[in-house]
Structure formats: structure tokens, C-alpha cells
A and B are shown apart, each in its own frame.
Chain A
Amino acid sequence: MNSLRLTLWQVRYTNKAYWRNPAAAFFTFLFPLMFLVIFTALLGHGHIVLSGHRISLSTYYVAAMASFAVISASYVNLGVGVTFQRDSGILKRIGGSPLPGWAYLTARVIHAMLMAVLLVIITAVFGRAFYGAAVPSGKDLIFFVVMLVVGSASFCALGLAVTAPIPNAEAATAIVNATMLPLLFLSGVFIPIGDHAPAWIQWVGRVFPVKHFADGLQAGFVGSAFHWNDVLVVAAWGVAGLLVAARYFSWEPRR
């Protein structure tokens, strides 16, 4: 059996199960769009100056919610979903079958990345249609796609890594959100962080991958200069996540 073919075949089943799970579909799919509507309605008027660049707030939020959508579809979706599958014994069952465990997880990662790309497209189209937001185009699109692919893959790796310390499925949602929500706030995804933000917040943004990723996607939307070091920091976190997952990932329920 060709493992690659099996992996791609497995994506179909992941997709079927994904859309039939109301919680997963809601949180990873509708949440970012809902937040986009709420944030632009509340805070999306006027302009903001970031690093000397004048951006319309609606474009800012379209870009920010695209980042949020990618993180939801990859980190949150895998962190919670894979823990549930681990706890229900499905991962162990897969481990007892001829399908290599990594092929099963790769199928989940591929699916999550496809969902992330789809969500970004929907967010961009939605933002363009209803808020007149700028969307990535031309040369910016190349960098944007690189950031998107590296980012969604890295947040998938981190999603797999975070399952390691999660003791059981009940704790999964809490731990995954507790590790991500503060970072989303401190990285300016929900509320823009100006250049005068407290130093520690700026440091959080520099160290963790969320702000680098959000800045990278934002550069694509507003056409500002992009920084390859944003891609590198995000990729480094992804590699770290992969190493942690390879070392500590559990295929069996933690009891």
C-alpha cells in the first residue's frame, strides 16, 4: 500500500467527520466570520497608523480575522480534535492497523490546512464585498501564500504538540484556548497594538509566533513591506512543535 495515497484518501474521511461535528465546524469556521462582523461593527471605522503605515481599520480586521481563522482551523482544531480521538481510543486503533500513525495525522494536518486556506479566502472575499477591504494581490500574494502555508503548518504542529500535556478530552478545550486566547490579545489580533504599547506586550509579540504570523498576513492585505524573519520565527515555532510532538505525543488515552 502506498502511504501517500492512503493519506490523501484519509483526508476525505477527516473532511466528512469534520463537517458533521457541529462544535468543530462552528468554532473553527463560523467563529472567525462572526468575530469579523462584530469587530468591524464595533471598532472597524476610520484608520490606524501602524509602523508609519496608514491602514483602514476594516482592512486591519479582515487581515486579523484571517489570522485568527487560520489559528482556529489549525491549532485549536487539531489540539482539541486529536485529543478527543486519542481519548476515545481511535488513535490507538489506527496504531493497530496497517495505516502508519503519521499518515493518519498527516491527513488531519492536510485537511486543517485546506480549511485554513478556505477560511482565508472566505474572509477576504467577505471583507472585500462588505467592508471594501484591500485583499492581497500581485507580488504581495506570493509572500502572503508563503506566510499562510508556513503559518497553518506551524500552528498544526503546535496543535499536535499541545495534546501532549493535555490529560484528557474534558480539559482539551480549556487548555487549548487558555494557551491561545491571551496570545491573540497580546498580539493585536483582536485589538490593534500601537507603537506605544507596554514593552512586555511588545516582547510577547516578538517571542511568540502569533504576532509574526498576523503581521505577515497583514502585510499581504495592506501591501506593506513584509519581513522574512516573520516567516522564520513562525517556522521555528512549527519545527519546535513538531519536535515536541514527535517526542511526547501519545497515541493512547492518558489515564
Chain B
Amino acid sequence: MVDEVVGGATPRDDHEYAVVVRGLTKSYGSVKAVGGVDFHIARGEVFALLGPNGAGKTTTVEILEGFRQRDGGEVSVLGHDPGNPQSKLRDLLGIVLQSTAVDPYLTVEEMIGMFAHFFPHPRPVGEVIELVGLSAERTTRVVKLSGGQQRRLDVAIALAGDPELLFLDEPTTGFDPSARRGAWEVVRNLAALGKTVLLTTHYMDEAQYLADRVAVIASGRIVAEGTPATLGGRDHARPRVRFRLPAGILPPAELVAETDAEGFSAFATEDLTLGLHTLTNWALDNAVVIEGLEIIRPTLEDIYLQLTGGVTARDPDLPVDPVVEGSR
């Protein structure tokens, strides 16, 4: 992982960054798709843009890719303005679109070779095929590949030109868990090669696993930016301790625990060691059996849902997820 660049910091020199976006706006008719977006991506960084459908993710990415013209703001991609069709930017980009786009009648090798030819300094086709794990399908026609394999070919095509910057728009949507793991390894390999990656995704575990930094976009604006561990004050959120006591027994009053309809009690604490100590000491002293003890912290998904106005199924007030499971 690359050293963290603190979110919101103003870049001193745009050339330190692969991508700089300032005050980006874009409307379709009267609909404001992007309403003033700012972010930057350091060279070699894996940056994830998260957000619900219609939040402006794809519009933002497509402006950076050069598919859309912006209405306002400053955009620099590898030092180029993607809105200028004359720039040599496309020699430096690898683009994986949201939906797989491959020619059904060519083979894996031909498809990658075809795109490699468009670039001034392509990566050897065999190397690209190996990188995405399609060596066994080298001479297979695209139409005979599985959906996951076609998507990996999609990534391979984006790598054919040995790009500096790779755009991955929801690369693993529709994958089964093992195919997703495989795709993640591909992205990790790319990061290890020093490539800059801009990833958009719906999957928080994907962002957590792959991204050095994430930004959450909602209704055309960035609502939070940070590392997966610190996004939205996640690292500062107080952990909660949740447990169940036998019927009729109340937890010690000093813990200020609340008990829900299922009989589970929970309290939040600044000092987890002290809180746990108080609880377990009290239980031992009074010979009370504590069931289902767990320490819960907000996951990236909880923070994401809070930021984007979603609601978790478990607890709308303080979204939680088990980190440590107690005795059952």
C-alpha cells in the first residue's frame, strides 16, 4: 500500500498526481449529474470511487476517460486534459467499461493483440494473458469463454497498451466469489507493477481489499474521502459491546447498557479494556453467564450506507458488525 495522502489536502504540484479533479460539474439537460467534485489520485495509488447508482460515479469516470465533456471545473489526467481530443492521453490509459465489450468471434490472443497494436509501447500479449490468468484459453474464441473469463479478457485488453493509469468501472459485478478473488489478485498485481488504478465498485469488501484510498460520491458530490480504515471517522467510532444475560438479570448500571426486544444488551465505550473488564468482573463476581458476547465496530459498508443515506438491516442508529465473537 502507498503512504496515505490525506483527503482534502491541496496538491502542491499536479505532476505528483495521476489525476487531479477540481470543481468538476456536468449536467444532462436540467439534471445535475456531477455538482462540483474535487479529488486527486497519487501516482501508483489504487483509488476507489464508491457511490450508489446515479450518484455521478460513471459520469465522473467517463469525463476522466475522455468519453464525456465536462461543463465546468479543472481536470488533469497524467498531465493531460481529457477533454482535448488531440492529446496523446489515450496512449497512456487502460479502460475497462462497466459492461464487458469483447468481439465474440476473435480469440483471446487475437483480441488482445488487436488492441496492443493501437498503442505505441504495448506489453507483450503473452505476458498480459498470464497476468489475468487466461493462459489456458489463449486460442479460445471469446464466445466460448465464461462471463468471468470474458471480464478478465476485458481487463487484459485494457492492459494491452501497458497503461500508466487503469480505469476499472465495476470490474467484478456479477462474479462468483472465487472469480472475484481472482480478479482482485489481478488488480493487486497491477498495483505491484506501480500502475495507478481508479476503481468504481458497489462492493465494500472490494474497496476495503484493494483500495489505498476511497471517496464516496452521493448526489453528484464527494461526501467523504479517506483510507478504508478511516473513512467517515470509522477509526474514531466507539466500539460497542453486545451480549445477552439470563432472563431477569440486568447489567451493571455503570455501563449504561440498553436492552433490546430480543434480550440483547449493548453499550458503547471509549475504553474497551475497562468496559470489558467491568462487565466480566461483574459477571464472575455474581456468577452470571454471559452469552453471545461480541465487540462490534462500524464496517466500511455501515459508514458507506450512513454517508449515502442508506439504512442497515441490523441497527439504523449505529450500524454495527461483529469483529470479535464471544462465547456462544
- Beta-carbon contact of A13 and B66 below 8 Å: no
Residues B63-100 near A (CB distance < 8 A)? 65-67, 88, 90-91, 93, 95, 97, 99-100
Given the known inter-chain contacts A1-B118, A16-B105, A16-B110, please indicate yes or no for A93 contacting B141, CB distance below 8 A.
no
| Residues of chain A lying within 8 A (CB to CB) of residue B93 | 96
- Beta-carbon contact of A13 and B100 below 8 Å: no
Given the known inter-chain contacts A92-B67, A96-B65, A97-B90, please indicate yes or no for A20 contacting B118, CB distance below 8 A.
no
A78 vs chain B, min Cβ distance (A)? 15
| Residues of chain A lying within 8 A (CB to CB) of residue B106 | 13, 16-17, 20
Given the known inter-chain contacts A9-B117, A20-B141, A98-B119, please indicate yes or no for A89 contacting B99, CB distance below 8 A.
yes
- Beta-carbon contact of A6 and B99 below 8 Å: no
CA distance A16 to B103 in the complex (A): 11
Interface of A is mostly: helix
Residues B91-127 near A (CB distance < 8 A)? 91, 93, 95, 97, 99-106, 110, 114-115, 117-120
**Per-residue 0/1 for A123-145: is the Cβ within 8 Å of any B Cβ (1 yes, 0 no)?**
00000000000000000000000
- Beta-carbon contact of B90 and A98 below 8 Å: yes
Residues A199-254 near B (CB distance < 8 A)? 252
| Residues of chain A lying within 8 A (CB to CB) of residue B97 | 89, 92-93, 96
Q: Check A150 for interface membership: any CB of B closer than 8 A.
A: no
Which residue on A lies nearest to B97, using beta carbons? A89
Q: Check B44 for interface membership: any CB of A closer than 8 A.
A: no
B117 vs chain A, min Cβ distance (A)? 6
| Residues of chain B lying within 8 A (CB to CB) of residue A96 | 65-67, 90, 93, 95, 97
A6 vs chain B, min Cβ distance (A)? 7
| Residues of chain B lying within 8 A (CB to CB) of residue A252 | 67
CA distance A16 to B97 in the complex (A): 24
CA distance A99 to B119 in the complex (A): 8
- Beta-carbon contact of B102 and A90 below 8 Å: yes
- Beta-carbon contact of A98 and B67 below 8 Å: no
A105 vs chain B, min Cβ distance (A)? 14
**Per-residue 0/1 for A6-28: is the Cβ within 8 Å of any B Cβ (1 yes, 0 no)?**
10011001001110110000000
Contact with B101, one of A9, A16, A88, A98 (Cβ below 8 angstroms): A88
**Per-residue 0/1 for A84-120: is the Cβ within 8 Å of any B Cβ (1 yes, 0 no)?**
0100111011011111000000000000000000000
CA distance A17 to B88 in the complex (A): 29
**Per-residue 0/1 for B140-181: is the Cβ within 8 Å of any A Cβ (1 yes, 0 no)?**
010000000000000001000100000000000000000000
Given the known inter-chain contacts A16-B106, A16-B110, please indicate yes or no for A95 contacting B67, CB distance below 8 A.
yes
Sort chain A's interface into a size bin: 20 to 34
B88 vs chain A, min Cβ distance (A)? 8
Chain A-chain B contacts (Cβ-Cβ < 8 Å), number: 64
B121 vs chain A, min Cβ distance (A)? 11
CA distance A104 to B70 in the complex (A): 26
CA distance A98 to B119 in the complex (A): 6
| Residues of chain A lying within 8 A (CB to CB) of residue B117 | 6, 9
Contact with A97, one of B103, B104, B115 (Cβ below 8 angstroms): B115
CA distance A85 to B117 in the complex (A): 19
Which residue on B lies nearest to A104, using beta carbons? B118
- Beta-carbon contact of A20 and B91 below 8 Å: no
| Residues of chain A lying within 8 A (CB to CB) of residue B102 | 88, 90
- Beta-carbon contact of A6 and B118 below 8 Å: yes
| Residues of chain A lying within 8 A (CB to CB) of residue B100 | 89
CA distance A16 to B141 in the complex (A): 11
Most central of B88, B105, B161 by chain A CB within 10 Å:
B105
CA distance A93 to B161 in the complex (A): 13
- Beta-carbon contact of B161 and A1 below 8 Å: no
| Residues of chain B lying within 8 A (CB to CB) of residue A85 | 103
Given the known inter-chain contacts A16-B105, A89-B97, please indicate yes or no for A98 contacting B66, CB distance below 8 A.
no
**Per-residue 0/1 for B54-66: is the Cβ within 8 Å of any A Cβ (1 yes, 0 no)?**
0000000000011
A sample of 7 cross-chain residue pairs with beta-carbon separation below 8 angstroms, ordered by A number, consists of A10-B114, A13-B103, A21-B104, A90-B101, A96-B90, A97-B119, A98-B120
Task: Add 7 more A-B contacts to A16-B110, A85-B103, A92-B67 (CB < 8 A).
Answer: A13-B103, A13-B110, A20-B106, A89-B101, A92-B97, A97-B115, A98-B91
Residues on B lying within 8 angstroms of A by beta carbon are: 65-67, 88, 90-91, 93, 95, 97, 99-106, 110, 114-115, 117-120, 141, 157, 161
10 interchain residue pairs of minimum CB distance = A89-B101, A20-B105, A17-B105, A99-B118, A96-B95, A98-B90, A93-B101, A97-B118, A98-B118, A13-B114
